[in-house]
Amino acid sequence: MKHQKGLILIELIMTIVLIGIIATFTGFFIYSGINGYLRAKDITNGSMDAQRALDRISLELRSLDYFTSAPVLNTSITYESTESELSGTRILRYDATNKAILIGRVGSEQPLLENIQPGSFKLAVKDKDLDNDGSSDDIEAIEVKFNIVDIGTNFNARIFPRNLVEKTW
pLDDT tens by residue, 115-157: 999 989 999 888 777 666 766 667 788 899 999 998 888 999 9
Which domain range does residue 79 map to? Answer: 11-159
Give the residue-averaged pLDDT of 43-65.
91
On whether residue 4 sits in a domain, the answer given is: no
DSSP 1: -
- Structural domain count, the chain: 1
On whether residue 164 sits in a domain, the answer given is: no
* Phi, psi (rounded to 5 degrees) for 143: -105, 135
Q: Is the pLDDT of residue 97 over 80?
A: yes
Q: How do beta strands 110-114 and 88-95 pair?
A: unpaired
On whether residue 2 sits in a domain, the answer given is: no
The better pLDDT of the pair 124, 82 is held by 124
**Cα-Cα-Cα-Cα dihedral of 114, 119, 123, 129, to 10°?**
-160
CA distance 55 to 155: 11
pLDDT, position 169: 43
Contact yes or no for 59/51 (Cβ under 8 A): no
On whether residue 48 sits in a domain, the answer given is: yes
DSSP 61: H
Measure the CA angle with vertex 117, ends 113 and 122; round to 5°.
80
On whether residue 132 sits in a domain, the answer given is: yes
Strand partners, 139: 127
Sheet holding 122-128, edge to edge: 122-128, 138-147, 154-159
On whether residue 1 sits in a domain, the answer given is: no
Average pLDDT in the chain: 86
Model-level pTM? 0.77
pLDDT, position 100: 94
